[in-house]
Amino acid sequence: MLETILAISGKPGLYRLVSRGSRSLIVETLDAQKKRMPAFSADKVISLADIAMYTDEEEVPLRQVLKSIQTKENGGKASLNPKTASKEELTGYLAEVLPNYDRDRVYPTDVKKLLQWYNILVENGITDFDEALQETQGDNVADRKGED
């Protein structure tokens, strides 16, 4: 599921991949408006499945961090408001869900974006982070759909 959820640099929020054009991707906002627009090759577009958080030992896939937040929040939205939280509150929150995160390379702004993304996903019913974990460990989910 996280393979089709995209972040676009310089644009707020998250987007769902709708289709691929010859020179662009067609994306749809994950808000109530469901606005569609093209994302061109000049835009920095990344799938949430390709994002990881730095830790002291290795990088941890975003899906695992999201699952830890979901467990802490019992499946609900984040208890900490990322827009009003202080740097200390943000880093303390991340320390609860990812205790060994790299304090030199993960900034409070990264935690703020993580919590905003988590809330967007929960608000839009995208909460099966275990499914995302299974999809990326096996073969490509698009390949499996073609075999059915």
Per-residue pLDDT tens digits of the chain, which is 148 residues long: 788 999 999 898 999 999 998 889 999 999 888 999 999 988 999 999 999 999 999 999 999 999 999 999 999 999 999 999 999 999 999 999 999 999 999 999 999 999 999 999 999 998 888 754 444 344 433 443 344 3
pTM above 0.85, yes or no: no
Give the pairing type, strands 15-20 and 5-8: antiparallel
Fold of the domain spanning 52-137: Arc Repressor Mutant, subunit A (1.10.10)
Over the stretch 83-100, which tens digit does the pLDDT of each residue have? 999 999 999 999 999 999
Burial 21-55 (b: 16+ CB within 10 A, else e): eeebbebbbbeeeeeeeebeeeeebeebbebebbb
2-48 is a CATH 3.20.20.150 domain? no
Distance CA 137, CA 24 (A): 28
- Enumerate the domain spans of the chain: 2-48, 52-137
CATH topology of 2-48 equal to that of 52-137?
A: no
The encoded tokens of residue 34 equal: 């469901």
